[in-house]
Chains A and B, each alone.
Chain A
Amino acid sequence: MRRVALSVNGTRHELDVEPRDLLVYVLRERLGLTGTTVGCDTSSCGSCTVLVNGESVKSCTMLGVQADGLELTTIEGLARNGELHPVQQAFHEHHALQCGYCTPGMVLAAVSLIEAGEATDEDAIREGLEGNLCRCTGYHNIVQAVSAAAGVS
């Protein structure tokens, strides 16, 4: 066991984890933040995407111990005072989800892309979301939503 300090959605947590505990399971099972989903468990689908120091990362491919001392944001931490984050709001308005399983990862990948200034046009958004799969294949509306949130048409 190893003691780690994680800052998750602005709250500091100190907990003992096994080195082999994947970050996604630390978030889901130890901190109860089940908004982060496991789709493939093989680094391919992006549904487990969270922000690590503001950048999108697949939390099934990172150990909890690697996150020691870092700032994490999960889907639960995006809304502020009951107001959806602009990307969440855009997903709502553009019907950018069907079953919703890929949505937390899709939203966080989009937030990272927009904040990096890389969501410059539709092509860049499609490229920038290549690490996220939507099993319901709702890409069209997802791209529309991200374009709207990024202010590109």
Chain B
Amino acid sequence: MIPAAFDYEVAESAEHAIALLGEREDAKLLAGGHSLLPAMKLRLARPSALIDIGRVSELSYIREDGDHIAIGALTRHREVRDNALLRAQCPIVSHTAGLIGDPQVRHRGTIGGSLAHGDPASDLPAVILALEAELVVRGSGGERTVPASEFFTGVFQTAVGPAELLTEIRVPKLGSTGWSYVKMSRRAQDWATVAVAAVVERSNGSLGKAAIGLTNMGGTPLRATAAEEAIAGGSSIEDAVKLIPQGTDPPSDHAASSDFRLHLSTVLGRRALEEAAAR
């Protein structure tokens, strides 16, 4: 399968990429290409031009920045998984990047591409949501910061405008906060049938506050708000996870029915919360 013909430009820098985007309608950024190229081969996507940001090395970094860790959008899953700073300060992101696809996919795919693609079945979005991370988006008019809660706007849609670039992801330092990301898929290498991210604060051995992110339970990654409120109100994990399906609308597809996903979210939610509480 061969993509439809397109023009190809190599961006030398973030600024250059934004300038090139402004020049052409219907141009798309190409990062690792591991979501975009499969879609183009199936002709589900037919951009008239690709702007290759894969060589913009200034956007590939992981560094400490005050109370958070800043991750450049072009950082590949492999580096996110292996980076010592991130593993120490916000291990849920490294752990999750290590569950994406297979080694070949992790050698090419980027964290920015994973988030900007807006696929509700992708793993990192639910984690970013549960972490209440911030995303830095740059356009010709300058830079803005978008909270994760406002970033995912629909199926394959995000707050990144057509002439904008996601440049950085800011995740909190977790300190003693417990965390877990539990993913269930039908086959090795596969996308999540459902996955649950949990980030929990503990006080005196019991759960104080929990943030729960859901993968593939609707058109966007979701927070399990009702379950989170139950935990804040003192509910047990067992009772709280019964509320995880509230407000979700999971798809039915070859991997699972919607009903099975509703059930699975409670099972994985319990595992994630228990693991996070113990970690």
Whether A associates with B in a native complex is yes
B56 contacts A by Cβ under 8 Å: no
Interface residue from A2, A61, A131 paired with B103 (Cβ < 8 Å): A131
Residues of A within 8 A of B188 (CB): 127, 130
Q: Which residue of A lies closest to B36 (CB)?
A: A61
A: residues with CB less than 8 A from B are 2, 18-22, 25, 41-44, 46, 49, 52, 55-58, 61-63, 65-66, 109, 112-113, 118, 127-128, 130-132
Q: Which residue of B lies closest to A55 (CB)?
A: B107
B2 touches A56 (CB 8 A): no
Count class of interface residues, chain B: 20 to 34
Residues of A within 8 A of B189 (CB): 44, 130-131
Closest Cβ of chain A: how far from B253's Cβ, in Å? 16
B3 contacts A by Cβ under 8 Å: yes
A42 touches B52 (CB 8 A): no
B: residues with CB less than 8 A from A are 1-8, 30, 33-34, 37-38, 41, 50, 52, 54, 78, 101-105, 107-108, 188-189
Given the complex of chains A and B, what is the CA–CA distance between A49 and B105 in angstroms?
A: 11
A2 touches B38 (CB 8 A): no
Interface residue from A2, A46, A55, A66 paired with B102 (Cβ < 8 Å): A46
Interface residue from A2, A20, A131 paired with B105 (Cβ < 8 Å): A131
Seed contacts A20-B6, A55-B78; 4 additional CB < 8 Å A-B pairs: A2-B8, A41-B41, A66-B52, A113-B103
Given the complex of chains A and B, what is the CA–CA distance between A132 and B189 in angstroms?
A: 9
Q: Which residue of A lies closest to B187 (CB)?
A: A130
A20 touches B5 (CB 8 A): yes
Given the complex of chains A and B, what is the CA–CA distance between A21 and B50 in angstroms?
A: 13
Given the complex of chains A and B, what is the CA–CA distance between A112 and B52 in angstroms?
A: 25
Q: Which 7 A-B pairs have the closest CB atoms?
A: A131-B102, A19-B8, A130-B188, A55-B107, A20-B3, A131-B104, A130-B189
A19 touches B7 (CB 8 A): yes
Given the complex of chains A and B, what is the CA–CA distance between A2 and B10 in angstroms?
A: 11
